Structure 1
């Protein structure tokens, strides 16, 4: 998966040789991690229906009207879980690399699909100690984009970061 992320990053930074535009943006919404077990520092932690505010910052390169490459960081928020009668705070985040395929649906609207990789990290803190675990998973998503101007877009999107993690967000991106 690290090779796939490196390839996506190389493609994003090599893209200036082609016609297109760079953009950056942010989004905010609701993140969810379905109940499941994470092994953090050798301890199995039950993630019971985690729902919290999620946000991301991202940057990308639009190669043409239909294809973009994007890198981003997503915070999934934090949750307090009980492990062996102890309260443990768990934070979730992800580094994402993906390709977006867009289809115009009028002058200012488009729909898009996302395919990439997400390096998801869970960090647990308890009694002054902290442990973490990470794994790379396929990243898929779909959304809609509205062009407010030539430089600014509003977007709404659903992302599946891992088999048990998802995000529903609204955001903006700006071309430069």
Structure 2
């Protein structure tokens, strides 16, 4: 399970730029803490009745922290984070012009896949 936050700017009806931070494995004991920060360009296409689809292409930075003994957080798993290309696809539903739900699957350039569901507030 993960938690995250993003901010963005829609500079065209179909294009936006977003920055995000996500903490993966945040609630799973005895697993490494995996933090992902990313910047992406998002292309979106509104559909009918408030629905829409989007795709993202960006760069992500993945960091891993895990307690290997003596309370120190080090990289001590066989997981090797990989920084690089981030891709994702998703769908949105607008409740109002400024509040929408979104679901997305992201694939960073490592062996992680993240599925997220959230709420976006526009202003």
Q: Is TM more than 0.5 here?
A: yes
Select the residue among 25, 42, 45 that pairs with 1:103.
45
Select the residue among 72, 84, 102 that pairs with 1:129.
72
- For the pair 1:165 / 2:112, whether they are aligned, the reply is yes
For this pair of structures, how many residues does the alignment match?
A: 116
Task: Specify the structure having the higher radius of gyration (Cα).
Answer: 1
State whether residues 140 and 160 of structure 1, in contact with CA within 8 Å, keep that contact through their aligned partners in structure 2: yes
Point out the structure with the larger strand share: 1
Which protein has greater RCO, CA pairs closer than 8 Å, 6+ apart?
1
Structure 2, unaligned runs of 5 or more: none
What is the aligned-residue RMSD (CA, Å)? 1.6
Q: Distance in 2 between matches of 1:60 and 1:168?
A: 19
Q: Distance in 2 between matches of 1:75 and 1:101?
A: 24
Q: Distance in 2 between matches of 1:93 and 1:155?
A: 21
Structure 1, unaligned runs of 5 or more: 1-52, 81-88
The answer for the alignment partner of 2:10 in structure 1 is 62
Q: Distance in 2 between matches of 1:137 and 1:121?
A: 12
Point out the structure with the larger helix share: 1
State whether residues 79 and 91 of structure 1, in contact with CA within 8 Å, keep that contact through their aligned partners in structure 2: no
TM-score w.r.t. length of structure 1: 0.61
- For the pair 1:148 / 2:90, whether they are aligned, the reply is no
SS in 2 for 1:117: strand
TM-score w.r.t. length of structure 2: 0.86
